[in-house]
Amino acid sequence: MQKKKILLILIFIAAGLPFLYSSETFTVNFSPSSLSLNPQLGYTTAEAQIFTALYEGLVSYHPANLQPEPGMAESWTISEDGMTYTFNLRDDLQWSNGEVLTAEDIRQSWIKLLTPGKKADYASLLDPIKGARAYRTGQSGAEEIAIQAPDDKTLVVTLANRVPYFLQILCHYSFVPVHPSMDDRSNWWEASVIPVNGPYRFEKKPEEGLIKLEKNPQYWDRENVSIDHLRIQFSEDPAQLMEQFRLYEVDWIVSGWGSESIDPDRFVLHPLFATSYFYFNNQQEPWNDPRVRTGLALLLPWDQMRASEYLPSSRLVPEIPDYPQFKGIEQGDVEKGLALLAEAGYPEGEGLPDITIRVPYPDSPVLQLMKENWEKHLNTDVIIDEVPFPRYFSSLKEEEYTLGQITWIGDYADPMTFLQMWQEGSSLNDADFRSEEYNRLLEEATGDDRYEKMGEAEKLLLMTAQVMPMSHSPALNLLDLRFLDGWYPNVLDIHPFKYIRFKNDFVIPGTI
């Protein structure tokens, strides 16, 4: 289809005729990464986007404002105390293989997600459900989880505490149903058939470098899915990608390269609910000592380190109306830093283990500043440990490093998406951060003063140097919105494929 499109463009250009953009196939490019086809084990932003095509939860993101929209559930009711959610499922829900999809399928999928030892990164987001955390951590059985399916079309969920953003959590791809036939598969890439419930299904068995999807005829809202085929490719060759993009062979490049040489009408830059930061790994001593972390942080020239950032920041949570914006460490203080290290038993760093900074890209002036300043003031060595993508994310679960570096994009539009991951017992707490005060503040963040409680929790992270923010990150996508509807800039950079459609009256520039 793509070769045919390019040939038609060239023919029309040669004939001096206008070319009206029309295609049954939409092509998107992601940079190569470790990709799981199992939504319960997904972690990356690429997976988050791809899963919008293949799966749908009880609720789904509105493409513009990200508010929960009816998905599998056509309606729901919330009890007066905010603790019980009753979801009413649609009558025509089916898997892509034609089997009926029931409330029990959803209940079983969530229980499977919560299975102790499953290593599902986002399982702890279901902790607000009564009995979910206890089961996930091996303290009780699955029968204690307050998820019920009284009939095929009804799912009832009871929370342990009122959580105002619970519906927003359920928009996340981890909470879509997984077909029972896939439960025991360790490698979904080897499966000949993967039943899904979203607007698209696999056209053929997926390949590592290319995934082809077609409109799912069993999807309940198939009449409102405009594009027949999705072509998802994975390439990091900038020259080739730019050539494909200029010729309209690739319609959307996620996190695009080479935007400086592209027509400004063909790329979209917008704010993102994201923060880039360094953090300490608490799995080994002495990095779990806040005096050591803070002492090391105060030895660094933060003004120089953040000077080249596009949106420099010392805050973890990006700006949100009415949310208190505490600043973290913004200036070094060598005298105070050395005093804190001495108080912790490491005068001038004597006795400290080597400081290992684990990063995916080692050639950074910021890393050199960190290394130079720590080795200048301390009797210790600093090691820059490169772990390339795609293994980088999984390596952050290991013990053998001191600091990691990551850009975290919120999973839902609430400050808790940045704070819950540091809570003790969270499946996202790779740093093994532990603080009774921090846990208490988040547990109390349920009432009218929840922003104040969360702000205090963030301040604790920042002032103990558990998290050392560098900047907030914008989103850059290469695509031409002059010929697309249904793709909207939003703070999570999530764009459900269901809503994307071509404008058939768009004339490609240069063809007239």
Tell whether 253 is covered by a domain.
no
Residues 140 and 285 occupy one common structural domain: no
Lowest mean pLDDT segment, chosen from 5-9, 294-298, 419-423, 448-452: 5-9
Name residues whose C-beta falls within 8 Å of residue 267's C-beta, 6 or more positions apart in sequence. Answer: 256, 259, 476, 477, 478, 479
Tell whether 487 is covered by a domain.
no
Q: Can you give the CATH number for the domain in which 194 is found?
A: 3.90.76.10
Residues 180 and 294 occupy one common structural domain: no
Residues 83 and 193 occupy one common structural domain: yes
Percentage of residues in the chain having pLDDT higher than 90: 81
- Report the DSSP beta bridge partners of residue 245: none
What's the confidence (pLDDT) of residue 281?
98
**Are 120 and 41 within 8 A, CB to CB?**
yes
What's the confidence (pLDDT) of residue 484?
94
Over the range 277-311, which residues count as b (16 or more CB within 10 Å of their CB) and which as e? Answer: bbbbbbbeebbbbbbbbbbbbbbbebeebbeeeeb
Tell whether 24 is covered by a domain.
no
- Band (pLDDT 50/70/90 cuts) for residue 265 is confident
What's the confidence (pLDDT) of residue 508?
59
Q: Based on the structure, what is the number of domains in the chain? A: 2
Closest among 98, 80, 78, 101 to 89, alpha carbons compared: 101
Rounded Cα distance between 70 and 60, Å, is: 6
Query: Which pairing describes strands 68-70 and 267-270: parallel, antiparallel, or unpaired?
Result: unpaired
**Are 433 and 449 within 8 A, CB to CB?**
no
**Are 229 and 212 within 8 A, CB to CB?**
yes
Q: Is the peptide bond before 390 cis (omega within 30 degrees of 0)?
A: yes
Note the pLDDT tens digit of each residue in 330-342: 999 999 999 999 9
Q: Which domain holds residue 333?
A: 274-472
Rounded Cα distance between 249 and 317, Å, is: 38
Q: Can you give the CATH number for the domain in which 446 is found?
A: 3.10.105.10
Rounded Cα distance between 457 and 441, Å, is: 6
Tell whether 236 is covered by a domain.
no
Rounded Cα distance between 173 and 18, Å, is: 41
Q: Is the peptide bond before 68 cis (omega within 30 degrees of 0)?
A: no
The position carrying tokens 């973890």 is 316
Over the range 242-256, which residues count as b (16 or more CB within 10 Å of their CB) and which as e? Answer: bebbeebbbbbbbeb
Query: Which pairing describes strands 154-158 and 200-202: parallel, antiparallel, or unpaired?
Result: unpaired
CA torsion sign for 193, 124, 121, 275 is positive
**Are 184 and 190 within 8 A, CB to CB?**
no
Tell whether 490 is covered by a domain.
no
> Looking at per-residue confidence, does 263 or 433 come out higher?
433
The whole model's pTM is what? 0.88
Note the pLDDT tens digit of each residue in 11-27: 444 444 344 444 589 99
